[in-house]
Every structure is written in C-alpha cells, then in structure tokens.
Amino acid sequence: MSYRVVQWATGSVGRAALECIIDHPELELVGCWVHSPDKRGRDVGEFIGRAPLGVTATDSREEILALPADAVVYAPLLPRPKEVAALLRSGKNVVTPVGWFYPTDEQAEPVQQACSEGGTTLHGTGIDPGGVTEVFPLLLSAMSAAITFVRGEEFSDIRTYGAPDVVRHIMRFGATPAEAAAGPMTQLLDAGFRQSVRMILDTLGFTGSPEIRTIHQLAVATAPIESPIGTIEPGQVAGQRFHWEAVTNEETVVRIGVNWLMGQQHLDPPWTLGAGGERFEIEIDGDPGTFVTIRGWQPEPGDPPEAKNPGIAATAAHCVNSIPYVCAAEPGIRTSVELPMVTGRAHPRFSTNRG
C-alpha cells in the first residue's frame, strides 16, 4: 500500500523530510506547502537538488486542505494548533517534530476534537524531544529492573547547526546574558521537553507527583569567537545549557537536556563537550544499569557548511518513518508509547515494494 504524503514547510527539516519521503517504499509525495512566495510554483525537486518530481509547491493552505492525501509531515519553525487542526479535519493524519509528543489535556484540547471530526491521527516525534530524551531511554529500560534514574542528553557544537537566524534571534547566541535569559527559548523548549520528562515518569511508574525543574545556564565569550552568525564578542552568550529534572523525595529520578556550545575555547565558565566530544548519551540506573553513547547524529569535523546536518536528517527520518504506523492507528493523538515500534526502510535499490 502506498500512502499519499504532503510536506508542510521546506526549512532544514522539511527538505530532509522530502528526501526521506521520496526514498520510502510505502510513500508517495503528492503536495508541498511553502512559506516563501519565491518558492511557489516551483517543482519540489529543485529544493533538494533532484530531478523534477512532478509536484509543484504552493503557498495556499486551501489547496493543501483540498488535496487528497493520507498524511502531512508538518515541519514549520513554530507550531500553530489551528493550522494542525484544519489539516486533521481535512482527513489528513499529521506527523510533526514541533509538538504533541506527550501532551497535557490543555495542550491536546485544540486538536483532539479535530482528530475525531476528521477520523485522523496526530503524532509528535523527532530526535529530542521525540527520541533521545524519552523514546530511546524507554526502549532501553526494558533491559533493567528497579529503575531509579533515567538521563537523556545532547552535547553539540552549535556552530554546525544550519539555521543561523534561529541561532541568533531565537536561541539568542551573541546576545547579552540578560537578553538570552529573557528570550523565547526556555519557553519554547519547555513546551516539548517537559513532555519528554512526563512520558518517562508515567510510563515507568514513578509516583509521588515529582516536581519538574527547568535549569538554564549561560556561558559568555572571553575573547572574540568567529561563528556562522558572525563574531561573538567578549561578554556575549557563546554557550547554553538547558536541563529538565524530575525530583521526588529530594531525589532526581529523570534528567534530560541539551548542551550547546560555540566551540570549546574562550568560554566563561570554561565549558567543554568533554573527552567524548559531540554525542548523545542515554543513562539508566537500575538492575542492571545501562549507559549508551550515540554518535553519527552531528556533523563530522571538517564537513562543509552546506553539508547535510545528520541531526536534522535523523529528525526528519523519524517523522517520515512513523507515517505508515500513524496512518494505521486509531484516530486521536497517539504518542510513541501507543504506536508499534517504528523502523526505517531499506534503500530503494534494495526494495521491490515501491508503489
């Protein structure tokens, strides 16, 4: 069976998702919504350096809503619940990396009714949130008993992240510490990462109403640092750490977070990525314990700036690979703990299951 798929937005994740959709043996790209008017009317193959695909980009929401399709990969910079609800009501399942990983009732309310009306399913997934910070720790937890602590954490050189406007204007790198602390990033991240913490707490059965704490730490440059967003001057933000901790009876039982640095020199405090370099880590204290280091989801040293960012590609792949499972699920918001195990698919040259 082939599922007809629409790609919504063609930023870095959206372009990576286009490639995944095209190469997936069970999916057919049938539409693409774009934000920029200069992309309107162009063949989608142009956006990813491929031959014409016969699919023309549109900036008309009405055209997408009217298009017969089974699923939408919804990948704008920020989610708009009314937009997602309209897609769901139009009969299209939605997979997205920008929310609804494990929503509270309040977060679910704007779209839950739309799922019922459209007979459709909404699923949030990705790399973190959506992977390292909850799904993969929960998968590994099957190998332990009597679990007392779970950690999922990212360590990245943010200079390799291919979205300079986001890094400067939303993450607030290059700003003053006061500007970064007052910026939108903590609130934006809170919306997703607290869902990761609650998914772990609820699924593993931690009781006692653990308190979830948000911790935001900043490092500033002590000398000029050259970066893709320009020179970061002394005193400006050049490193940020965000962590979320669930504490019960004064004991931390879940800790997830991200460590983002503009390199490892000229920072105050003198943070580094450690001997392990760029990586993702998953740790579980139990009987037995587990410690896993994941590599390959960050660019290699020396990769050109235009090279594909593996972390972005992994985010897109997790979304796209979820589509067949989401389309087969019962209507409603379906989290990763409710779906079957999501897997990738073989390269097209090994697959005879096209179409």
Q: How far apart are CA 236 and CA 230, in angstroms?
A: 12
In this structure, the answer to whether residues 273 and 177 fall within a common structural domain is yes
| Each residue's pLDDT tens digit, 21-68 | 999 999 999 999 999 999 999 999 999 999 999 999 999 999 999 999
Q: Is residue 307 part of a domain?
A: no
Q: How far apart are CA 246 and CA 250, in angstroms?
A: 10
In this structure, the answer to whether residues 68 and 151 fall within a common structural domain is no
Q: Is residue 306 part of a domain?
A: no
Coil, helix or strand for 299? coil
pLDDT value, residue 151: 98
- Residue 250 is encoded by which pair of tokens? 């004064």
- Residue 267 host element (H or E): strand 267-268
Where do we find the tokens 């109403």? Answer: 209
Where do we find the tokens 């707490």? Answer: 201
| Each residue's pLDDT tens digit, 155-186 | 999 998 878 888 999 999 999 999 999 999 99
- How does DSSP assign 165-234, residue by residue? HIIIIIS-TTS-HHHHHTSSHHHHHHHHHHHHHHHHHHHHT--S-PEEEEEEEEEEESS-EEETTEEEPT
Cis before 288? omega within 30: yes
pLDDT value, residue 243: 98
Q: How far apart are CA 11 and CA 350, in angstroms?
A: 29
In this structure, the answer to whether residues 272 and 145 fall within a common structural domain is yes
CATH of the domain at 78: 3.40.50.720
Q: How far apart are CA 105 and CA 127, in angstroms?
A: 23
Q: Are 219 and 261 in contact (CB under 8 A)?
A: yes
In this structure, the answer to whether residues 234 and 272 fall within a common structural domain is yes
In this structure, the answer to whether residues 110 and 178 fall within a common structural domain is no
Q: Is residue 28 part of a domain?
A: yes
Q: Which residues contact 277 (CB under 8 A, 6 or more apart)?
A: 155
Structural domain count, the chain: 2
Q: Is residue 199 part of a domain?
A: yes
- Residue 276 is encoded by which pair of tokens? 């392990």
Q: Which residues contact 355 (CB under 8 A, 6 or more apart)?
A: 2, 28
159 φ/ψ angles, rounded to the nearest 5 degrees:
-65, -20
- What count of residues does the chain have? 355
For residue 208, give its domain range.
135-296
pLDDT value, residue 165: 86
In this structure, the answer to whether residues 139 and 280 fall within a common structural domain is yes
Single-letter amino acid, residue 37: P
In this structure, the answer to whether residues 15 and 93 fall within a common structural domain is yes
pLDDT value, residue 303: 75
Each of the 355 residues of the chain gets a pLDDT tens digit; together they read 799 999 999 999 999 999 999 999 999 999 999 999 999 999 999 999 999 999 999 999 999 999 999 999 999 988 999 999 999 999 999 999 999 999 999 999 989 999 999 999 999 999 999 999 999 999 999 999 999 999 999 999 999 887 888 899 999 999 999 999 999 999 999 999 999 999 999 999 998 889 999 999 999 999 999 999 999 999 999 999 999 999 998 999 999 999 999 999 999 999 999 999 999 999 999 999 999 999 999 988 777 766 788 999 999 999 999 999 999 999 999 999 999 999 999 998 887 655 4
Q: Is residue 77 part of a domain?
A: yes
